[in-house]
Structure 1
């Protein structure tokens, strides 16, 4: 029997096997700080670049009945949060499937922004959810330079080109400018939450949009999540015959090689270390 004949003989069985296989819930892990620029020390980060392929694979599954977002994030860059959320809604509309979000340890700030891209949001009773606000943080290093007799030289065209330079003393007018940005971003964040959660919200604006964080049980009472449950418990109830297929986002090269935390040049150490401290601080604010 030729190779072609063998393949032809097997086709009916392959088609039958596929027909007998059940529906699929495709799950995408969204774990880590949301940032467009992961550092060499970062093990897990979320950005449009790292999650695009995982989202595409998840929504392209041929037996798809729903997509699940597994969220564990302290937040991060608002633009990346918005871009990913918009991409999720675009794919959901194109494929006409429901999206379910599951808040794990933490879905705060940008992490909750991502959760709101789902049609329904679930959390564990002990999850931490919310932090609907905006924050900027950094380090002031001007004293460090002075202590070591280092002079930094910056030349610009445009008087505001180096606002909030960490190597220069902070200026009150720059802080006011930054607060103005925060107000605008906060308004966009709250508008997104209202758009996605709508009448499900039971708390007042003064209660919901202060940057406060709640447990999953409290978040359910406020309408920030729809129920208490995990991926497996909800899927078992909604889609008892479904298989769960997890799509993993791309990880930074050093993380894939098991070298996260390393730097390749001595000159990279200080900025990379500061970035790692900032990433650690994002999690530690929530006791994680």
Structure 2
């Protein structure tokens, strides 16, 4: 007799469906893991590229061999432009890097605030005393005038292009007077103050001779400070003439003859031939958009509430 046929389990369809469903779930999990892995690697790659682009990782400010450190001072020296905090922070980072062989401060500035310029100058002198084996050279682009030259005077040497504009060792306070215009328009100025000099040099009031004399005296004091800094920084190299501190400017070529600069040179040539570290690493701090907007807003508010809103004391 033949053997009886084996009976098929009554729930075989359900078992097959469960196995298929379980297999599909496992496949989805494997796909999800691979997707997460690739996305993570993609994000890591983008972050590395971003860090390199902004100089946080393997970019500017980092070098594994001896280099020339570069710090830029560009534009008007003021609290919201080429401000002392950012320049000083950049210089400190440059000097503190163990691979820095020399520092170049590249200047392209018409001047600006005597306070901001003075703070940068003082920090340069401090850092030079703290790091006596690390020289600092100023390299001038288009212009190094007034407050810009105030800063440059702190460098060991100053290099210029033959067509650079150098000098303007003087101080000014600028503003406008509108009294005649107001009279023609029939406008009356109503200024209330507590303190006889609170409306100091108000542009809508006639000039007060006493206030004008006081302002000139104050400018003379700041001018003497400027002259002292230049004499201290340049020493015997400076060939003083009656015009040296008159506010005049000279070409780079002429400034060398007057002892205001030491020679012709660019960032690349100074790094290569003077410092002898051809690799240049930029340590200049860059402000974010939010920081720039906040700085401009603060400066605008300060001007709005300042008695010197119409002008101000400038090394320009």
TM-score, scaled to structure 1: 0.74
**2:127 paired with 1:91:** yes
**Aligned mate of 2:144, from 98, 107, 122:** 107
SS at 1:136 equivalent = strand
CA RMSD in angstroms, aligned pairs only:
3.4
CA distance in 2, matches of 1:25, 1:188: 31
Determine the C-alpha separation between the residues in 1 that align with 2:86 and 2:179: 34
SS of alignment partner, residue 166 of structure 1: coil
- Answering whether residue 269 of structure 2 is matched by residue 226 of structure 1, we say no
2:173 alignment partner, SS class: coil
2:102–2:275: 8 Å Cα contact kept in structure 1?
A: no
Could you tell me whether the CA contact under 8 Å between 2:68 and 2:277 is conserved in 1?
A: no
Correspondence 1:1-288 to 2 at 5 A: 21-36=64-79, 38=80, 45-96=81-132, 97-142=134-179, 147=185, 149=187, 151-157=189-195, 159-204=196-241, 206-251=242-287, 253=289
- Provide closer, same or farther for how the CA distance between residues 154 and 251 of structure 1 changes in structure 2, counting only shifts above 3 A: farther
In the superposition, relative to structure 1, how do residues 242 and 233 fare at CA in structure 2: closer, same or farther (>3 Å)? closer
Work out the CA distance in 1 between the residues paired with 2:270 and 2:162.
14
Structure 2: stretches of 5+ with no match in the other structure? 1-62
Larger CA Rg, structure 1 vs 2: 2
Cα offsets for 1:102-154 (capped at 9, x unmatched): 11111001110010010100000010000111111122345566638465443
Please give the alpha-carbon distance, in whole angstroms, between the structure 2 residues aligned to 1:28 and 1:142: 46
Q: CA deviation at 1:219?
A: 0.1
Which stretch shows the higher mean deviation, 234-243 or 72-81? 234-243
Deviation at 1:175, TM superposition (A): 1.5
> What TM-score comes out, normalization by structure 2 length?
0.68
Name stretches of at least 5 consecutive residues in structure 1 with no aligned partner. 1-19, 39-44
2:93 & 2:292 partners in 1: Cα distance? 20
Structure 1 SS opposite 2:175: coil
Change in CA separation of 1:144 and 1:255 when aligned onto 2, cut-off 3 Å: farther
**Which segment drifts farther, 144-153 or 21-30?**
144-153
Verify the 8 A CA contact 1:68 1:231 in the aligned structure 2: yes
- 1:4 is matched with which residue? none
1:33 aligns to what SS in structure 2? coil
- Give the number of equivalent residue pairs: 247
Q: C-alpha distance in 1, partners of 2:211/2:193? A: 18
2-structure distance, mates of 1:129, 1:170: 33
